[in-house]
Amino acid sequence: MKKVTEKKTKAVKKVVKKTVKKVTPEKAPVKKPAKAAPKTAKAAPKAKVDPKAAPKTVKAAPKVATAAPKKPAGLASLPEVVQKAVQFLDARKAENIAVLDLQPLANLSDYFVIATAANAPHLKALGDGLQRLYKNEQYKGFRAAGTGDSGWVIVDYDGVMVHVFSFEMRNLYDLEQLWKSAKRIKL
């Protein structure tokens, strides 16, 4: 019985040695880095400091304001709700964003923000995202209508109506032509 177990253990040891050799990678010859070119330039002599001379004060460079997220040019004068809606739509790849100022023309809304979505899922995502944005910003009392399948989503809050259309619906309703006398805010 001892002979059998000794033979088995020897066989197992041989198998283990073979697998260990297979698993451990062989060392590749290491290339030595090429020597750097000798320095030919001499170091500049140190400047002599006159201990009697008064130390010079160095003025710090003026601080440069850190760049804030870039807003489109015409947005600065608009209400925060309009600014956030336009920035959201622009960040989410909405196309042909337009802002119409309706204040002198109508009492139903102060501003229209109009944008086009690429397809129905994009339209649904933009509508849901606008609602989430308004909720996170704690704009209480906003209303939303429409779905991605309908081709038109409207989110309304405090005199600002955000219209997100499919391409076909935007051409069909053509709000820019309907309100052509409204001032178009340049973005």
pLDDT of 37-93, one tens digit each?
555 555 555 556 555 555 555 555 555 444 444 555 567 788 899 999 999 999 999
> How many Å apart are CA 103 and CA 165, to the nearest integer?
22
Is residue 38, in this structure, part of any structural domain at all? Answer: no
List, for residues 148-167, the tens digit of each pLDDT value: 889 999 999 988 999 999 99
Overall number of domains in the chain: 1
Residue range of the domain that includes 156: 80-185
Confidence of residue 173 (pLDDT cuts 50, 70, 90): very high
Q: Does the residue 51 lie in any domain?
A: no
Instruction: Write the pLDDT tens digit of every residue in 78-135.
Output: 889 999 999 999 999 999 999 999 999 988 889 999 999 999 999 999 999 999 999 9
Residues with Cβ within 8 Å of 5's Cβ and at least 6 positions away in sequence, in order, are: none
For position 154, which CATH number holds? 3.30.460.10
